[in-house]
Amino acid sequence: MLFFTQCFGAVLDLIHLRFQHYKAKRVFSAAGQLVCVVNPTHSLKYAPTRCAAAQASTEQGILPPCHHHEAVHDPQLVPCTCPLFSCPWEGHLEVVVSHLRQTHRINILQGAEIVFLATDMHLPAPTDWIIMHSCLGHQFLLVLRKQEKYEGHPQFFATMMLIGTPTQANNFTYRLELNRNQRRLKWEATPRSILECVDSVISDGDCLVLNTSLAQLFSDNGSLAIGIVITTSKVHSSEAEM
DSSP character string of 170-235: TTEEEEEEEEETTEEEEEEEPPEEGGG-HHHHHHHT-SEEEEHHHHHHH-BTTBEEEEEEEEE-HH
Q: Is the pLDDT confidence value at 229 over 90? A: yes
Q: What percent of the chain has pLDDT over 70?
A: 67
pLDDT value, residue 80:
82
From 36, 48, 193, 216, select the one nearest 115 (Cα to Cα).
36
Per-residue pLDDT tens for 5-19?
555 555 555 554 455
pLDDT value, residue 87:
80
Is residue 218 within 8 A of residue 183, CB to CB? The reply is yes
Q: Averaged over 214-219, what is the pLDDT?
A: 93
Q: Name the pLDDT band for 53 (thresholds 50, 70, 90).
A: very low
CA distance 156 to 147: 6
Burial (Cβ within 10 Å: 0-12, 13-18, ≥19) of residue 88: exposed
Q: What percent of the chain has pLDDT over 90?
A: 36
Is residue 227 within 8 A of residue 179, CB to CB? The reply is yes
pTM of the shown model: 0.72
Q: How far is CA 229 from the centre of its chain?
A: 14
- Residue 141 or 111, more confident: 141
Q: Is the pLDDT confidence value at 169 over 50? A: yes
- Residue 8 or 114, more confident: 114
Q: Quickly name the fold that domain 31-39+77-230 has.
A: 2.60.210
Per-residue pLDDT tens for 56-75?
433 444 333 333 333 444 55
Report the SS3 class of residue 154.
strand
Q: Is the pLDDT confidence value at 27 over 50? A: no
Going by the DSSP 8-state scheme, the letter that residue 10 receives in this structure is: H
